[in-house]
Amino acid sequence: IGTAALIVLAGAGILIGGPLSGSGGGAASESGIAWHTPAIVAPVEASHEAEAPVPTPEQPQPIGDSASTSLRLDLRRSVVGWRGTKFRGRGEHSGVVRLSAGDVALCGGRVCGGLFIIDMTTIQVTDIPEDQPVPRNRLTNHLKSRDFFWSDRHPTATFKLRSATETAPGTLQVAGDLTIRDVTRSIAFPATITGPLHRPQRIEARFQIDRQDWGISYRFDPIRNEMVDDEVDFHLMLFVADGVAGSQLALPGITRVVSHSLQ
């Protein structure tokens, strides 16, 4: 899925020829992520896929606002989990993808934005054991192909967090732009924060997208495309690096919204 995620998010592809496994909500994968089915995220805007040239990974830039600061993610621990199903949930595959960069923006001591860059070339399959390298590698390579993420052409996905509304202690409703394969759509979902709002330690979120909204499909095999379910689950686990400030982000239009203050 898998730009988020986690902008980021990303992982969505399912290899039809791969082994089937039960959908079993709540099962833990090799990555340690326990899955359940969240509500699907309804995107509200999109751009058309650009098939050339190969994009340059986006880098954080100064936001130009002295009132805004940012915290850098711990990339060693931060991860985006993905899960996709086939045959209407009768089979599934899951895995992880790593982030290559990420900052959380703070405005007035509250999370107000962020930029998370997902390295789609690192997508891994975790539900197929390592002692089965042939099917595991076949699925991994298929996810990187043009049928799905086309990581040679689109090596990164991004999630730009543009607003964060505190709805309850430790809970935010976040909104932002998820870009996968150069298709950008705005999404919103709940997230939980561990630690104080002015210095969060971990941000975690689960959401679901429709892969077709980002143009992730078999282009020349509609029968196989129908076998792969459209819904894709994402699990973002973002850890803030201890004592490390990030670069300030270029996030125009950040909404600084806090519904109530924590004591």
Instruction: For 204-221, write each residue's pLDDT tens digit.
Output: 999 999 988 898 887 656
pLDDT at 23 over 70: no
Pair of tokens at residue 239: 């850890």
pLDDT digits (tens, 9 = 90+) for 87-127: 777 778 999 999 999 999 999 889 999 999 999 999 999 99
Please give the helix or strand (H or E) that residue 188 lies within, else none.
Answer: strand 183-194
- Phi/psi at 252 (nearest 5 deg)? -60, 145
The token pair at 225 is: 């495309």
Using CA atoms, how far residue 192 sits from 78, 153, 189, 204, in Å, is: 15, 33, 10, 5
Could you tell me whether strands 91-97 and 124-125 are parallel, antiparallel, or unpaired per DSSP bridges? antiparallel
Domains of the chain, earliest start first: 1-263 (2.40.128.110)
Q: Are 16 and 227 in contact (CB under 8 A)?
A: yes
**For 148-206, how does the pLDDT look when each residue is reduced to its tens digit (9 = 90+)?**
888 999 999 999 999 999 999 999 999 999 999 999 999 999 999 999 888 899 999 99
Q: Would you state the pLDDT for residue 260?
A: 27
Give one DSSP letter per residue of 118-157, joined into a string: EEGGG-EE-SS-TT-HHHHHHHHHHHTSTTTT-TTT--EE
Yes or no: say if 107 and 256 are a contact pair by the CB < 8 Å rule: yes
pLDDT digits (tens, 9 = 90+) for 223-263: 666 678 888 899 999 999 975 555 544 443 333 332 222 22
